[in-house]
Every structure is written in structure tokens, then in C-alpha cells.
A and B are shown apart, each in its own frame.
Chain A
Amino acid sequence: MLIIALLKGVPARTTKVVTVGGVLRREEMDIVLNPHDSKAVEAADYVRRKVGGKTVALSMGPDIKLSPLIKPLYRAEVFGVDEAFILSDRKMAGADTLATSYAVSLGVRKVLERHVKPVEELISLISSGASADVVAARARELYGQNLLPNKVYSDLPSVKDSAIGMFAAGKASADQTTKLLEDTKSSFSQFIIVSGIKTTDGETGSVGPQVAESLSEMMGLDFPHLTYVEDFEIDPATLVVEAERKIGRLVQKVELHCPALLTISPEYAPRPPDPSNQVSVRGNNFRGKTLNPMKWTADELGADAARLGLAGSPTIVGPGVDIGKPPVQKIIGKSIVFTKRVEKFSSGGADFGPYDAGDLAQALPEAVFADLNAKGLLGVFTLQMFQRELFS
């Protein structure tokens, strides 16, 4: 099974980041892996242990920045990814969630194609009447590139019944082998995508559902998504996911047939691994890990440039504005305020007031201030005044 985890690099700090006209300049900031995404990696890893297959990390952004974030995920002991792709292209810069989801779903499609093609190639080799040795030699090559699961071809001593292995040994006919390859090919389209519930920079949580919608459009089906998943189980035989999620005050149990997309809540904790299914897990697994993250450009994705980056983003972010003005502050025991109500009056040709008891007197011209003070109309803001004012 192909298990795709959507990851994002986010600024390490949320203050003092460089913005030019409202656009984040990620290449000039320290970035870290979005904290919510670690749950997606845990969930992906759980599926791989349970069903077998390959965990693919998919991210978008400057590859120079993202590569170092993703590499440690290969080595993670508890969880890890097997392969990573970074969608990196200037054309994708400045994307809002719509343009991001478009690009990311193209990436998902390409991950799928990358795995379907080698199987198709073997099918056509067999149908062209190529000898078992030629087919096996090509399969060995593809397996070496981490493109075939053990059940199609394997050099593991524990896997003796791979489809091509049996074919090469004369134990399976061309038709039988082709049938197995067709099954593998169609099983790739029953993939699962996992992501965090949101990122800590944009905080929108929109990309998960939007990637599912984009894939619906690309694949011509209703690609289901489920947000805020706190717990799930997947049946390795049917690839049906049973997930529990909390949405507002509703707790739902939802059954999803793959392909499907889940956004994983911070409350998620993987279940203990189930050792009963090891043979099938091994068959679904691939040779190993492809260590360096690979980069895909817009052209390689076959993207419509008008739908990428700033050009493909319907929303425009205006320049930031500081929130409000600092409030009028009163400090107990320090601020000078009116102790009584003072009606409108003139002084030195300027009008003042009216003032209510408790209004700040500090901004008044010195002479006016002194005059009012002499009349006993001003005083220090006291705790008593504070208390009276607070609940009035």
C-alpha cells in the first residue's frame, strides 16, 4: 500500500519574520517541520506496520530548506519514512491553500504513476512474449530502484513466492503472473494520505480537505476526507479504514474505503502493532528506503502554471496592520485622573472636557493641569477607584 504523508516546513518563530507585501519569504527564515505533522508520520508508520507498503513524504517549498528537515525522518527509530519528494519551484511560491492543494495533489498523482508504471512495464514485457529471464532481469532492476513490492519481485530469502520469482521458476504461467501484476497495479490506487490537522504558520487547516477535493477532480471520483482523526484502524485485507474523530461536540465513527485522506489530531496515539499479519506485510513492503529526498518541478508535475503560486491563488494578502492602538492605561497609585466630573471649559483659547470622574488627566497642558490640581479636581488613581470602575 502506498502511504503518503503530507508535510510542511514552517517558520521556527512566529514573530519578526520577513514578509514582503504580505508574502512569506520562507527561503530567508529558519524553518522547522510543522509540529502537527509528526502525528501524520506516526499514523503513516502505523499503516505501514499493519498493512505493509511504502511511506512516502510529500512536501512543497524550497528543497534546500526542506531536505534537512525530512532526512532525520528516515532515521527515526519509532517511525520513519521510506521515500520523500519535495515539490520545489519558483512558480509555486506565494501559493494560497487553493494553489498549494493543486500542486500537492499533482505530487500525489505523480507518486502513484511512479509506482504504477513499472508494474505496467512488466505486464507489457510479459505480453510481448519476453523470456522469463528478461522479465526477471528487468524486475530486479526496478526492485533495486525501490519501485516494486516484495510480492512482485524480491531478493529477500524469506520471500519465495514473488510473482516474477514464480514466473521465472516456471511455477506460474504468463496469464497467472499478469493477473497478479494487474491486482498489484490496482491496489496502488487504494492509497492513503495522512496529514496534520493544520500548520502552525497559516493555521488554516484547509489543505487536507482541499487536496482530497483536488484528487476527486483529477481521479474522477469522490475522494473522501476525514478531519481531526483521533484513532483509526485499517483492515489489511480490504483496506477499509475505521476512524474515530471529534468534530465540535460530535464524536463520529466513520468507515472509509481507500483511497482516502485523514488529518490526524494531536490526540492520536498509534495502536500497538499487530504481529499476526507479517507475511502479507512483508509482501507489500518494498526493498528499503530511498535516502535522498527527490525534487519535482512544476514541469515535471505537468502543472498548469496559471494554477500555481501567486498566479493561481484567488486570495491576496494585504500588508499587515498592527492590532488596534495601545489602550488608555491606568496604573493604580500612579496615574492622575479626575476625581469628579468636570463640565466643558475653555482655557487659553482651547476647549476642554467634559471629563468624567476617572478620566485620565495626564495629556492636559501643564497650566490647565496645575489649575485643575489646585482646585482639588485631580488625584491619583486608587485601588478603590479601580474596583468601582471595573464592575460599573
Chain B
Amino acid sequence: MSTAPPQVAAAAPSVIETPEYRDVWVYLQRDGDSLSSDSRELIAAGRRVADKLKQQVVGVLLGSGLKGIAQEAVAYGADRVLLVDDPALADYFSLRIVDTLDYLVKKRKPYSFLFLSTEQGKDLAPRLAYREKTGLATDNIQLEVDDYFSPAAKATYKNLVIQIRPDFGTRVARIYTPRNRPQMSTVRPGNFEALPRDPDRKGIVENIALPVKGKTYSAVVKEIRELPKPGVNLKDAQVVISLGMGILRDKSGRVRDPREAYRLVLKLKAAIEQKEGLKVEVGASRALIYAELKELEGLISKDNQVGQTGTTVGAQVYIALGISGALQHRVGMQRCKRIVAVNLDPNAPIFQIAHYPIVEDVYDFLPEMIARIEGSKNEA
């Protein structure tokens, strides 16, 4: 007989659920008379979370003259749309929007509320989060659903939305909001793929009257104008060819006119478009854009910037020319399917994520690549 001391039954760990909070809300933005393409991605992000939670995706759409946009949100995967269409919401004004969202959140109690990491999302979500006394995880690139055990509370929180965002260095961090609802996040555009449009998809569009009518604020929008759409569409490109500071010198250390590299890139772009039938755009690293080179004036601008503070791209092919690959750049392009990195420095961090690392001079690589592609289909 063993003389082991009698076992004390371990206290069952407490499990915390919040069934009174339901559904994944997504804050939708318009682009002219249609749903913004970022918002379609956001619906897909919400869909991913809601399906795992077995909850609904609820689009929240505020503005004036929104005819048809709510139905678009349904076609792209929303189960329900809360539509507040009122002339008072015609001009974007954050306090009025936050007041409206606050009313809806308190009344309906969403489980999670997603915004885009756009200027608008980052203007509204923090203020709403403070008002609801809940957490906000910004700039997420992925969302999961999982249980979370809190050692401090000795409790397991069931089915939390795990918010994943870039962290210091080469890492991502997981952010949890265990105790507060809704769990609020902003999602960086370019990290989720929009669902295919299904015009027959059924969903409910709920018209909601502006809850606080006629309220005035100590700030007023006096004037509003819309800037033209940028000429560069990095987000929808199938191939992105990006330039970095490496184009300023060649392998012998000689200073090169960056316009040479730019012209070669345009040639490569034309060759790929013609021979492969793919949509190609020219990108650039932040360093190159902020260097504000006289030579590149009018050729590349902030619209071309790939990375954390620029555009996040998800192209089939990404060709990084002379880009060292700081984390801020990598988070903007690492989702691309095939990454080619051409750099003279074999230790450049870009090589850590490149599928095709090429330690070569950009000025040697480009002409060869152009010649090959231009000649390719003619041979066949």
C-alpha cells in the first residue's frame, strides 16, 4: 500500500463565456457610390471569425445616400446590415459617428467589432473603444478564434478573438481582450481576401433612424473635397516590381541615376504585361520615397509605397529590387505568393522571406530578365 498523502481534488478551472454578447460587427466604408474594396476584405475577415464562433457578420453602414451599398455588403458576405442613412451623416464627422455607434453597441451588444486600419477606422475605433471601456487592438494582419487561459484570473475565456498584429523586431504579437466586450480591432487592408460577390445571397438590411437627432457639436465640418484616386493601384496588381535604395549604386559602387533603373522597370513591366498578360504596378520602399530624389520626382510618389505606412500588397509575384527589407516593408508584402529579392548584400533581411534570393546587381538582373521575357513566347 502506498502511503501517498490523500490527493486534494484540483478546483475545476472556471470557464468564462459571455453569451449575452453576440455577432461580429464590421464598420463599412464607402468609396463613391459603392462599398470600398477594403470593406469587402473586412467582411471576409469578419466572416472568418463569425463562422468559427457560429455567429453572424453584421455590417454597420453610416452615411447619407447609401442606396444599394448595404445590399452590396450582403453580396460580399454580410448576414445583416445596420444601415443609418441620414443627411446629418453626409460629411464625415467623427463625434457624430461615434455617438451613433455607441448607441448601437449599447443596444445590441456585439461580441466583436472590426474596423479597417484606415485613417477613418483609426479615427473612430479608439474613441468608441474608450467610451465602451473596452480594448482595441490595432493593425491586425490575422484573426483567429481560440480559448485563452488567464493565469492571473485562473480562468479560461472561451472563444476569444485572437488579434494578431506586427510586433517589435521580426515578430507578431497576439492581443487578447478577455474581460471586455466588444473585443475591438482594426484590420490592416491587404491581409484578407474578399469573398466572391454573390448577388443572390440573402441577408437582412435594417434601416435604423439616426438615434441622436439635431445634436450640435463644438466642431463643424466646413468644407470637404475628395482627392482623385491615385494612378497606382498596388492592391489589385498581380505583379509588383518594387525599387529600393539599392538602385542608387551598382556593384562597383558607382553612383547610378535611379531613372535608369526606373526605365528598366517600366520595360520589364511592359514585357510582363504583354507576354504574360498580368497586371503589373511599380512599388517602392519607404526609404526611397522619403529620400525625395530629384530624379524620381513625378515618377514615384507616396502612392507607390509598399509597407506598413504605405500599401499592403498581396500580389502573385513580388520583385524587390535593391530593397533591404526592414520589417516595416516586409509586413506590407510578405503575403505575396512568390517573392523575388535582388540585392547585392547577401545579408539583407529581405532574403529571409524571399522564395528566390538573387544576390546580384539590379542593373545586371533587369536587362537579362527583360530580354528573357521579351523573347520567351516568341521561341515557343
Contact = CB atoms under 8 A, between A and B. Distances in A.
Nearest to A243: B219
A322 B327 CA distance: 12
A331 B357 contact: yes
Interface string A243-259: 00011111111111100
A253 B221 contact: yes
Interface residues of B, number: 83
B355 A327 contact: yes
Interface string B166-203: 11111111111111100000000000000000000000
Contact of A323 (B123, B170, B176): B170
Contacts, number: 214
A363 to B, nearest CB: 16
A315 interface: yes
B338 to A, nearest CB: 6
B372 interface: yes
Contacts of A389: 338
Contact of B356 (A225, A249, A251, A386): A386
A324 interface: yes
Interface in A307-325: 313-324
B127 interface: yes
Contacts of B94: 209, 225, 227
A98 B129 contact: yes
Given A209-B94, A252-B221, A332-B356, A316 B175 contact: yes
A208 B272 CA distance: 45
A318 B175 contact: yes
Given A213-B127, A314-B177, A315-B135, A228 B119 contact: yes
Interface string B278-289: 100000000000
B348 interface: no
A252 B317 contact: no
B173 A320 contact: yes
Most buried by B among A256, A323, A383: A323
A329 B356 contact: yes
A128 interface: no
Given A98-B130, A316-B175, A257 B224 contact: no
B62 interface: no
Q: Is the interface of A mostly helix, strand, loop or mixed?
A: mixed
A33 to B, nearest CB: 18
Interface stretch (B2-10, B67-75, B225-233, B257-265): B225-233
Contacts of A387: 369, 372-373, 376
A224 to B, nearest CB: 4
B378 interface: no
B122 A330 contact: no
Interface stretch (A14-22, A39-47, A70-78, A144-152): A14-22
B177 to A, nearest CB: 5
| Residue among B129, B176, B338 with most chain A CB within 10 A | B129
A203 B308 contact: yes
B327 A210 contact: no
A249 B220 contact: no
Interface stretch (B40-48, B50-58, B105-113, B136-144): B136-144
Interface in A210-238: 210, 212-214, 217, 221-222, 224-228
Interface in A366-392: 383-384, 386-387, 389-391
B118 interface: yes
A101 B134 CA distance: 13
A35 interface: no
Contact of B219 (A14, A228, A256, A327): A256
B126 interface: yes
Given A251-B224, A314-B133, A323 B171 contact: yes
Contacts of B278: 391
B178 A247 contact: no
Interface in A331-345: 331-332
Contacts of A222: 95, 217-218
Contact of B136 (A224, A228, A242, A315): A315
Contacts of A19: 168
Interface in B14-31: 29
Contact of A203 (B93, B138, B219): B138
Contacts of B91: 252
B317 A210 contact: no
A249 B357 contact: no
A97 interface: yes
B339 A327 contact: yes
B120 interface: yes
A321 B180 contact: no
A87 interface: no
A205 interface: yes
Given A209-B127, A210-B126, A314 B222 contact: no
A353 interface: no
Contacts of A63: none
B167 A255 contact: no
Interface in A1-19: 11, 14-17, 19
25 contacts: A15-B169, A16-B169, A17-B168, A97-B129, A204-B138, A205-B138, A206-B136, A210-B130, A222-B95, A227-B122, A248-B118, A249-B227, A250-B225, A251-B226, A314-B133, A315-B177, A318-B174, A318-B175, A321-B173, A321-B174, A323-B166, A323-B170, A329-B351, A331-B357, A332-B358
List of 7 A-B pairs having minimum Cβ-Cβ separation, nearest first: A314-B135, A206-B126, A315-B135, A320-B171, A224-B219, A318-B174, A253-B223
Interface of B: 29, 91-95, 98, 118-120, 122-127, 129-131, 133-139, 148, 150, 162, 166-180, 217-229, 239, 272, 276, 278, 308, 316-317, 327, 330, 334, 338-340, 351-358, 368-369, 372-373, 376
Interface of A: 11, 14-17, 19, 22, 96-98, 101, 201, 203-210, 212-214, 217, 221-222, 224-228, 242, 246-257, 260, 313-324, 326-332, 383-384, 386-387, 389-391
Given A22-B173, A319-B173, A320-B169, 6 more contacts: A214-B130, A246-B119, A323-B171, A323-B334, A331-B356, A389-B338
